[in-house]
Amino acid sequence: MRISQKCYFPATKIILEQIERSRKGGKPFKVSFSFSGTFLDQCEKWNPDLLELFKQIAETGSAELISQTYYHSLACLNNRDESEFIEQVEMQKQTIADLFSYTPETFENTECIYNNNVAKVAESLGFKTVITEGVERILGWRSPNYVYRAKGSSINLLLRNYRLSDDIGFRFTSTLWDQWPLTADKYVTWLAHTSGQLVTVFLDYETFGEHFWTESGIFEFLRWLQIESLKWDNLCWSTPKEVVQKYAPCDTIDVPPENTISWADIERDLSAWLGNPQQAISFDLLNEVGLIIKELNEPNLLRVWRYLQTSDHFHYMCTKGGGSGIVHNIFNPYGGPVEAFKTYMKILLDLWARCLMESSKPESEYRRLLRRVPPSKGFRFFLRAGSPTDVLAISLEDLYKAIKKVNVNSIIFHLSRGDFERWISEVIGDENLAAKISSLPEKLRDDGENVKKTLLNILEERLKELKELGKLS
């Protein structure tokens, strides 16, 4: 509530005022917001008026909503369960659709963490653009002020101009800076004299009012940005969606996983979250516990585990010194990295113990059979050998829905090879269901519509039984 009053409400009201003011004449003022699902949850529970304010901005048509991971997590770095990253991004896309009736086309991974694999996942989920950091080591001689394409995919890349972004986000109140004080007219002049197609200014929203208090002049700076931009004919405000529609990519950016970038600290890599042994141990155990929780398929444990994936937990464990260390410690609620590590591990070990207790309950076995498996272990439907379809089942529920819609020839093909019972037995682990399908008469297996109906009845009965035994609604 404190941050809402200090930052979110005043900053958002100013942005809405400037959008409405600019619509009366001059250049339209445009912005983009990247929300996490947990932030939107908090708005719904504790501050619905704030959520309503964001909805008002979205309804103006002058704001683009950018998607990220639901839990603002490090899920993209979980090598044990690559499906978790996809699930969290899909959750967030759905949340934005539900709350704002909006389908995001731009993706910004947690803390701008990016590599070629992130781009491929984003593209596979329907995004057209990714925003990340304009780091020199990926740019070489090139400028961040152009549209690029990710290597190995056709998705667009917009690169944050970290110098101009950090002039606001980090240096705004620094009296040691030779450009202090930073005023809106000075900043807009810099923008106007910056070469390239665009300038991506991407900030932590809490810059306004929380990192820099009202007394610093940060809100007046925000208020006057739009007004000062009117003085320059070569400046206009645009959303990421508009930029990639206007400009074609000029080159390709290659960021292999071993060279993953982010917007954090001087290094702009993963060291802010995984740079010391405490962070590595915590993250490794977190992912190990996740495998157990996914097997248990217990919603409450899954939710707690996902909260523990939030990047902030690992950020607080950072032991860097210098300027980066100050940033890590200034908002650390634990007072330091050691206490942050101890507290986190106590909670994580408690969660692990609860998982072991849960696994001893009879109903946990039935819930396990209803779990979703990673896409790499899913059941891919084929029409015939060498002819895959786009239908993939990753749970018994999915299998039921898929059989409802696939061509009967695909069903006959898989039955003739024993594929259904093999997947149900070896991947899902339901020997009873596998045996039931395996015992279907040969005569029935060639009767398309009848065998489809029979399979659906068998699956429907088993799903109902498992949900009752597993005490799932």
Catalogue the active-site residues.
111
Q: For 312-443, where are the E strands, in sequence order?
A: 379-384, 387-393
Q: Is 132 left (phi over 0), alpha (psi -120 to 50) or beta?
A: beta
Single-letter code of the amino acid located at 178 = D
Cβ-contact 197, 207 below 8 angstroms: no
Integer CA distances (angstroms), 408 to 46, 72, 263, 447, 452, in order: 50, 42, 50, 9, 7
Q: How far apart, in whole angstroms, are the C-alpha atoms of residue 251 and residue 139?
A: 10
Q: How far apart, in whole angstroms, are the C-alpha atoms of residue 91 and residue 83?
A: 12
Torsional sign, CA 300, 302, 304, 307: negative
Collapsing DSSP states into helix, strand and coil, what is residue 384? Answer: strand
Cβ-contact 271, 320 below 8 angstroms: yes
Q: How far apart, in whole angstroms, are the C-alpha atoms of residue 255 and residue 261?
A: 8
Tokens 């993250």 correspond to: 283
Q: How far apart, in whole angstroms, are the C-alpha atoms of residue 164 and residue 159?
A: 12
Q: How far apart, in whole angstroms, are the C-alpha atoms of residue 41 and residue 165?
A: 28
